[in-house]
């Protein structure tokens, strides 16, 4: 069976493996099944990945997947999977944050390299932010500085909010290459070229893409923020799954932000950043002021109009309806409410202290069948003679000069940078974070200018993790329904599989799927 075919079946939930991993049958029956699968001709475009009937009429098959750390291939500037079980190459900041209380100013948040708490891939390790309500800062040098020339920049890494996220970030900073860059003194004010990644506080779900642009006239840097994604980001912060965040910058100034290899935001560095990269060519003259006699009133009251003699400003807006007739049976002498005849004065009532006792009011039972009780009054209606206070009618202002605006002058700060992609080179990647939640899991950092290299790295890392997590969700559904007939053979196979799980050597995980012998493919080809 080809790796492409295996990857296709993996995406359907039929098999679980990384493209770089081996698959072994656990029985003669499984060997036959793998041969059957190899004979099936399935085209990608014929598949429906969601709501597929593939999982409805299948028999269990155990496929052993051995975790193997992804290997960087192709041109790259940084690759880190943490599967060496060490933070070698990473530098913890020993600095203090300025303008912060002394008790929280230190970057003393704890980091660890470990597996996820509920890992589906034993042996897969990542960098974990361990502390709550602490400043964290850790960074690592690239293999060599990245310079923006004629190739794209691709940055990708994984995040899993294992314990959810209340208020905190999980973004990365690409630290600008400067002569005095000291990773041990990495703080929030350390110059960076790009900041990218998820951030949340309360109900504000963000996915940052910020770059610092150098003003060619002043030499000063200004942060440029990408527009907010249209997609609903909530799920990525709440489902406790591992998500792959990718930023792609192209030499033509276009950008893409992807989550799990799906574009959630895109645009141009020239037109979709706030504030804009290039300032306006003209600005309003700050020294220009509106003349005192400038008339901006489009309409004015007619100066020649006079109030009509019969205009009554004192007429009320509403008057009693003279045509109304009191309904027959109206009880004029009966009040709507009466004292409760069944109420008794409390024994401890003291009239000197509490005043004269009165029974609580209840609806008058005599009014229940009558159209009404009490004094009848005519209902009020709009007064046809009401005109209100007289005002002269409005007419066009013959002296109208329009809304005044200051005149435009050339912007003295104007410049035109048509290649904002050519940002400051960066030489390190860092995490400088404050979080009210712990156990944020980071993994598989990769920086490259080769799209194929990034895709291979994702296929060997995140794709395997996603498949393992999906398999864990699907496993309960693979049990036989309560209405199915007893399956003794299958039960024995499951028990044997569980026994094998206990004795399997190495960092392996036994993923049990419902797969099939031809029947399931009828709806796919």
Q: Which two tokens stand for residue 251?
A: 């030499």
Strands (E), 147-261: 153-161, 167-169, 172-176, 192-201, 204-214, 221-226, 243-249, 254-259
Distance CA 157, CA 159 (A): 7
Distance of alpha carbon 302 from alpha carbon 278, whole angstroms: 49
Q: How many CA atoms lie within 13 A of 39 on its CB side?
A: 8
What was the pLDDT predicted at 102?
Answer: 72
Nearest to 337 by CA among 380, 294, 308, 367: 367
374-378-381-386 Cα dihedral, nearest 10 degrees: -120
Give the Cα separation of 160 and 245 in Å (integer). Answer: 11
Token pair in block for residue 215: 């003003």
Beta-carbon count within 10 A of 433 CB: 24
Which residues, in sequence order, are bridge partners of residue 155? Answer: 247, 447
C-beta separation of 185 from 139 below 8 A: no
Query: What does CATH list as the number for 76-282+419-471?
Result: 2.60.120.200
Query: Which pLDDT belongs to residue 460?
Result: 92
pLDDT at 23: 39
Low-confidence ranges of the chain (pLDDT < 70): 1-66, 474-525
Contact 411, 316 (CB under 8 A): no
What's the confidence (pLDDT) of residue 3?
Answer: 40
The Cα-based distances of 447 to 99, 208, 209, 427 in angstroms read: 33, 17, 15, 11
Contacts of 476 (CB under 8 A, 6+ apart): none
Q: What 3-state class would DSSP assign to 21? A: coil
In 3-state terms the chain splits into helix, strand, coil percentages (rounded to 5) of: 20, 30, 50
Segments making up each domain of the chain, as ranges:
76-282+419-471
């Amino acid at each position: 069976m080809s790796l492409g075919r295996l990857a296709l079946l993996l995406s359907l939930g039929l098999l679980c493996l990384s493209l770089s991993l081996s698959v072994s049958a656990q029985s003669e029956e499984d060997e036959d099944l793998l041969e059957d699968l190899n004979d099936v001709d399935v085209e990608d475009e014929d598949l429906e990945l969601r709501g597929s009937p593939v999982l409805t009429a299948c028999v269990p098959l155990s496929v052993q997947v051995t975790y193997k750390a992804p290997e960087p291939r192709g041109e790259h500037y940084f690759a880190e999977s943490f599967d060496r079980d060490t933070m070698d190459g990473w530098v913890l900041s020993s600095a203090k944050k300025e303008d912060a209380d002394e008790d929280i100013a230190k970057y003393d948040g704890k980091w660890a390299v470990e597996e996820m708490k509920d890992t589906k891939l034993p042996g897969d390790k990542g960098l974990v932010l361990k502390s709550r309500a602490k400043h964290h800062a850790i960074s690592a040098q690239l293999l060599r500085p990245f310079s923006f020339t004629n190739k794209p920049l691709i940055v990708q890494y994984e995040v899993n909010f294992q314990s959810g996220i209340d208020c905190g970030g999980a973004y990365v900073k690409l630290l600008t290459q400067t002569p005095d860059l000291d990773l041990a003194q990495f703080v929030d004010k350390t110059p960076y070229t790009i900041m990218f990644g998820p951030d949340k506080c309360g109900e504000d779900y963000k996915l940052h893409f910020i770059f610092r642009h150098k003003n060619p006239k002043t030499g000063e840097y200004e942060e440029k923020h990408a527009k907010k994604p249209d997609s609903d980001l909530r799920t990525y912060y709440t489902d406790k799954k591992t998500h792959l965040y990718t930023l792609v910058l192209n030499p033509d100034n276009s950008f893409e932000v992807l989550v799990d290899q799906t574009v959630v935001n895109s645009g141009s560095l020239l037109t979709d950043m706030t504030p804009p990269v290039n300032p306006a060519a003209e600005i309003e003259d700050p020294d220009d002021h509106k003349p005192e006699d400038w008339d901006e009133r489009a309409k004015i009251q007619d100066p020649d109009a006079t109030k009509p003699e019969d205009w009554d400003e004192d007429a009320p807006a509403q008057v009693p309806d003279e045509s109304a007739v009191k309904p027959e049976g109206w009880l004029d002498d009966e009040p709507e409410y009466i004292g409760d005849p069944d109420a008794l004065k409390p024994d401890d009532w003291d009239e000197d202290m509490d005043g004269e006792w009165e029974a609580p009011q209840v609806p008058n039972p005599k009014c229940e069948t009558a159209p009404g009780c009490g004094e009848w009054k005519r209902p009020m209606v709009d007064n046809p003679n009401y005109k209100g206070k007289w005002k002269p009618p409005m007419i066009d202002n013959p002296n109208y000069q329009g809304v005044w605006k200051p005149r435009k002058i050339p912007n003295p700060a104007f410049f035109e940078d048509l290649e904002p992609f050519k940002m400051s080179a960066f030489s390190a990647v860092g995490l400088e974070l404050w979080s009210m939640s712990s156990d944020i899991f980071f993994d598989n950092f990769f920086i490259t200018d080769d799209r194929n290299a990034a895709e291979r790295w994702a296929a060997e890392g995140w794709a395997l993790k996603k498949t393992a997590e999906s398999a864990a969700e699907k496993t309960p559904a693979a049990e036989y329904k309560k209405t199915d007939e007893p399956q003794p053979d299958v039960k024995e196979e499951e028990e044997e599989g569980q026994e094998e799980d206990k004795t399997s050597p190495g960092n392996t995980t036994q993923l049990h799927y419902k797969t099939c012998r031809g029947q399931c493919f009828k709806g796919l080809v």
